[in-house]
Amino acid sequence: MQPDLTRLNARYEGDAEGALRVALSGALGKIAMVSSFGADSAVLLHLVSQIDRDTPVLFIDTLMLFQETLDYQRDLAEHLGLTDLRVITPGKDALGATDPFNRLHLADQDACCDLRKTRPLEQALKGFDGWITGRKRFQGGARQGIDMFEYDADFHHLKINPLASWNGKDLAAYMDAHALPRHPLVAKGYPSIGCAPCTSPVKAGEDPRAGRWRGSDKDECGIHVVDGRVIRRQAS
């Protein structure tokens, strides 16, 4: 039975720890966390680790990530004592058939994200009732109106956004308070970090996500919220 999202959102709005505790209690089914191990991922990973270090954490390695991200993923997971980290990669057959020369991103970024991130994530989420994300309203775009608890009727998954109401200052303060290690690329001008070919440094005064898919109208990696539904953007 689908949980009462209106009640959950009213009860836990602004209470990230409370939302995580109910999500990881088993009351909402089997829940995984999905993390990019990006610029501010340490905050949510730390919160989860304080409640249940055995929480399944899904990390999608698109095989086009920065080496710094791969190193950070390994070091941060060890630092937090995460016991069930699952590294998800795109299937070899799918890559061979669709992107054998690793150049799809040059012709169709949406198709590349679909191949390397969305499809592997959909496969990895089988067996789970929901997943925890690090999306926040202040990031703008499709994220501006997100609730802490959402449900997608097509994929039959609950989506939990514990940090929906947090802003950049909240994240920085939490990182400082808990002495959490920073992603090394943040100091080099990357406040939002994705795949290496599609991520560039951000100049002072620019939106923090301006370096993602610079020069295009793309602002998400393939999983979107449209009218409350999570959909996969299809290649044209």
What are the structure tokens assigned to 235, written together? 């290649």
Only one residue has tokens 């012709």, namely: 107
In degrees and rounded to multiples of 5, residue 162 shows phi and psi of: -60, -30
In angstroms, the CA 5 to CA 219 distance is 26
Residue 5 has, within 13 A of its CA and on its CB side, a CA count of 16
């956004």: which residue's tokens? 161
Token pair, residue 232, equals 């996969």
- Structural contact between residues 114 and 105, judged by C-beta atoms closer than 8 angstroms: no
Which residue from 41, 209, 199, 227 is spatially nearest to 109, judged by alpha carbons? 199
Per DSSP bridges, beta strands 223-226 and 149-152 are unpaired
* CA 56 – CA 44 distance, rounded (Å): 13
Which candidate in 113, 195, 198, 221 is catalytic? Answer: 221
Angle of CA points 9, 193, 224, to nearest 5°: 45
Active site residue 221: yes
Task: List the one residue out of 123, 54, 47 whose CA is nearest residue 83.
Answer: 54
Pick from 125, 134, 110: nearest CA to 198: 110
| Residues involved in catalysis | 221
